[in-house]
Amino acid sequence: MRKIKRGDIVLVAMAVSSMLMQGSANSQARDATPDRGLSSAAGAPQNWSAGGRDVGGTYYSPLKLINPGNIGQLGFAWQQVLDGKRGQEATPIVIDGVIYTSGSWGYMYALNAVTGDLLWRYDPKPAYQAARNPCCDLVNRGVAVWRGRVYGASVDGRLHAVDAATGRKIWEADTIANHSLPYSITGAPQIAGDVVVIGNSGSDMGQGGVRGYVSAYDLRSGAFKWRFYIVPPNVGAAYENPELALADSTWDHHRPPQYKGGGTAWDGFAYDPGLKLVYFGTANAAPYDSRLLGPTHNDALYTASIIALHSDTGRMAWYYQTTPDDHWDYDATQKMILTDLTTDGAHRAVLMQASKNGFFYVLDRATGQLLSANNYTYVNWAKGVDLKTGRPSTTLDSDWSGSPKVIYPSWAGGHTWNPMSYSPATGLVYIPVLEAGSVWVDMLHNGGSVKYANGVFTANTIIVDDSYVAEDLKPLFGVLPPLQSVRSAHPGADVREALRAWDPIKQQIQWEQVTSAGVRGYDGGVMSTASNLVFQGRGNGDLVVYGGGYRRNLESRADRKPHHGRSDDLCRQ
């Protein structure tokens, strides 16, 4: 693949010979304002109509033109350098030969999918003081396209609707309720019936974080429709939505007012048009150290949770908390996949998530009932999840209040924002996994010098890799265990990334490909296809393609052990 200069934000297209899409590549010239969006996913397989392509958010393409027989012809087609030299995490939308995407700060773009030519660029004119607020970097995770309009959010918290043909602004709405707090938006909007829903970020920022909520706006006019606050207000303040009464009962009633609670919804939205439910995951509590909120250790609802709201009213249908009393930064904001599975002889409409806390959850998406939960990566903070109560069984290793502890997964999570993919052809979920531990420590009570360290937000934690030297960290964090002792918690590479194929029914790994060892490679998301291919972008700039592995082959070998190695690696560009 052509080498890209470090720092550039680049959109790269790959092609098999001259075949880029099935369908008319010239349709963008005739119809740049299609009267469709998600509804076109089934009838127009050449389109990528939403972040996850379809209403289920599967990141699965039904196209078969690119297949194992011609994958060797995969080659460079074009590139388009976007604004700035900051992070890029957006999944482009493709409708009728036009690519719609976003970049740093919340800039939006339309490009010719065949040539890469820029059709238009929308500058949201962000407030530049917002650069202080985002975690992590000035990223943006994409746009939504619906009925000739493109919806996107800028880092300073404004939601924008622009004309898909021209990039002309139709309306904008300020979604931030309190500009004195370090709110930002790095996530993509979610179309949900007649409204567009957006969350925000900031749970990690400052010493008190922000108070998370999601807001809904009319698709056509931008008029405000409803808002759902995720965590309760300061002690004694009125509740903005009735669900906060239950949440308040799970927080310490003597919590200081400077701590705003966190629980932001910065990624991981989905929508079921049949049930008319919008789903989203919520972030960690603020601060991470729950002792600062008071002496009681309660669940701190609705942080680290998956929530379903009625899209027309914003009232809660159900919630499921993945990590009660989270003090390990185990957000539940990872992207969710909606599909149908047959479990225990019953056909269920389900929601699936590979959570940051290391467990893969399957929930009934109508009721929120937990159907299964098993760890897809190494976990030592919990022994498992009780399927009756839905609660994890925590271990002594998880309590870092008395002494430093090595906890898996790290605060970076077993899986985070980078998308996983579900193939209905194989029945497997392909997860980009980070297997790493972090040392959690109470800095002040451990002989350290500060409570809040620049660069690690309000977290008292260090990811263990080759740069970990306990003696060098002592002035800041106090006495830490030596590297040899830390490594004994989980023998093997200190940091290891892998692409894992997970069977959500059997709840086990079917195969694995190690992508980096010893250092964090910052791998990207995953796409699977009907031709049994799995694509992944690597942090080093490689595009790697694997064979997906079909369930009909795996079911005949129920005792098959997870595959480790590179024999399925088909192509690296």
Q: And the tokens for 223?
A: 């008029």
Q: Report d(CA 214, CA 150) in Å as an integer.
A: 19
Q: Where are the beta strands (DSSP E) in 182-256?
A: 190-192, 195-198, 213-218, 224-229
Q: In a 10 Å sphere around its CB, with 0-12 CB exposed, 13-18 middle and 19+ buried, how is residue 508 labelled? A: middle
The separation between CA 232 and the C-alpha centre of its own chain, rounded to angstroms, equals 24
* CA 429 – CA 338 distance, rounded (Å): 12
H helix count then E strand count, the chain: 5, 39
Helix (H), strand (E) at residue 160: strand 158-163
**Whether residue 8 lies in the annotated active site:** no
Could you tell me if 58 and 52 are in contact, meaning their C-beta atoms sit under 8 angstroms apart?
yes
Reduced to 3 states (helix: H, G, I; strand: E, B; else coil), residue 285 is strand
How far is Cα 548 from Cα 82, in angstroms, rounded to an integer?
Answer: 32
Count CB neighbours of 141 within 10 A. 24
- Note whether 515 and 521 are within 8 A (CB): yes
d(CA 435, CA 379): 9
CA atoms of 434 and 378, how far apart (whole Å): 10
407 with 441: CB under 8 angstroms?
A: no
Q: Is it true that the peptide bond before 287 is cis, omega within 30 degrees of 0?
A: yes
E strand intervals along 408-547 = 421-423, 428-436, 438-440, 461-463, 495-503, 508-517, 526-529, 533-537, 543-547
Kindly state the tokens that stand for 566: 């590179």
Find out whether 372 and 362 touch, Cβ atoms under 8 Å: yes
For the chain, the first-to-last Cα distance in angstroms comes to: 5
CA distance 401 to 441: 7
CB-CB contact of 412 with 434 (8 Å): yes
Nearest to 348 by CA among 502, 529, 504, 556: 504
Helices (H), 11-145: 27-30
- Which position among 156, 329, 331, 494 bears the catalytic label? 329
Spatial CB neighbours of 367, under 8 Å, sequence gap ≥ 6: 318
Q: How far apart are CA 516 and CA 382, in angstroms?
A: 26
Going by DSSP bridges, is the β-strand pair 224-229/74-81 parallel, antiparallel, or unpaired? unpaired
Residues forming the active site: 329
